[in-house]
Amino acid sequence: MKVEQPSYTLAIAIEFLGTHYRGWQRQKEVLGVQEALEKAISKVADEPVEVVAAGRTDAGVHASNMIAHFVTQAYRPSLNWLRGINSLLPDDIALRWVQPMPAEFHARFSAVARRYRYITLNQTPRPAILNHQVTHIHKPLDLSSMQRAATDIIGTHDFSSYRAAACQSNQPIRTVSRADLFAHGSFIVFDIQADGFLHHMVRNLMGTLYAIGHHELEPEDFLNILAQKDRTIAPPTASGDGLYFINAYYPKAYQQLLPNMPLTPVWLNLPD
């Protein structure tokens, strides 16, 4: 009689630079972050492993704390998982921690909120060290006008005007609980949290905030665009360079099990 092997559900936190990847999702002809992770984890587990993330990122978008999980029949101490997987990953992807979780934990479906930060470097000269890690805007931005518009993002809205044409979500309504916009030196940080995000939603919102900051639109135009439910009337999508997935949040029973570490890179911890 065959004895069935126990399985283990493991949560992981991933940081990655998305510059050289076509987003999170595994794809046939181009490299995604998911594929690179699954190859490394499967080798350590000595069996095929599928990794499920709390959210998806577009091409060129980064993550400082993407929560994901995988299920395996292989037992390894958490530190062994961490060291083994990181030794096999490319330099621009790394695990931050590995945490055993209850079998019913699901990184995507158990999440109650997700949070992003969009980092703009608003100065005349272009950056070198931060190239592709921030979005560089050389013309001055009117922060106060952008902040007035950002307050209108909070709440439950139909975000059809701020979703990509290729968005596969079956409905466009999302509830935004946080939409803070603040400056720290030459950095402008857009910190947004919601129960979920549509394809390109944060980048499209940022494109409108840039237009407001350059006085191409007025702060009240944000709500006018929102009410039209028409993507074609909103400004262009902002670059993926400045966008970071920074966290996912879960019910207390799960959240208290997950390690709480400062965000990386260090400058992403700009005080709000």
Domain shared by 103 and 127, yes or no: no
Average pLDDT over residues 132-160: 95
Report which residue type is found at 139. Answer: K
- In terms of Cα–Cα distance, which of 262, 215, 260 is closest to 235? 215
Domain shared by 212 and 100, yes or no: no
Count of C-beta atoms within a 10 Å radius of residue 125: 8
Alpha carbon 21 to its chain's center: 14
Domain shared by 234 and 148, yes or no: yes
Range of the domain at 40: 8-110
Residue 63 counted as domain residue: yes
Task: Domain count for the chain, please give it.
Answer: 2
In this prediction, residue 166 carries a pLDDT of 76
pLDDT digit string (tens) for 74-122?
999 999 999 999 999 999 999 999 999 999 999 999 999 999 999 999 9
CATH code, domain with 183: 3.30.70.660
Which member of 46, 58, 142, 191 is catalytic? 58
Residue 263 counted as domain residue: no
Report which residue type is found at 64. Answer: S
Mean of the per-residue pLDDT values of the chain: 92
Residue 259 counted as domain residue: no
pLDDT over 80 at 29, yes or no: no
Residue 142 counted as domain residue: yes
pLDDT over 90 at 150, yes or no: yes
- Is 180 among the catalytic positions? no
CATH code, domain with 61: 3.30.70.580
For residue 127, is the peptide bond before it cis, meaning its omega torsion is within 30 degrees of 0?
no
pLDDT digit string (tens) for 153-176?
999 999 999 998 777 788 889 999
Q: Could you tell me which residues are beta bridge partners of residue 189?
A: 119, 182
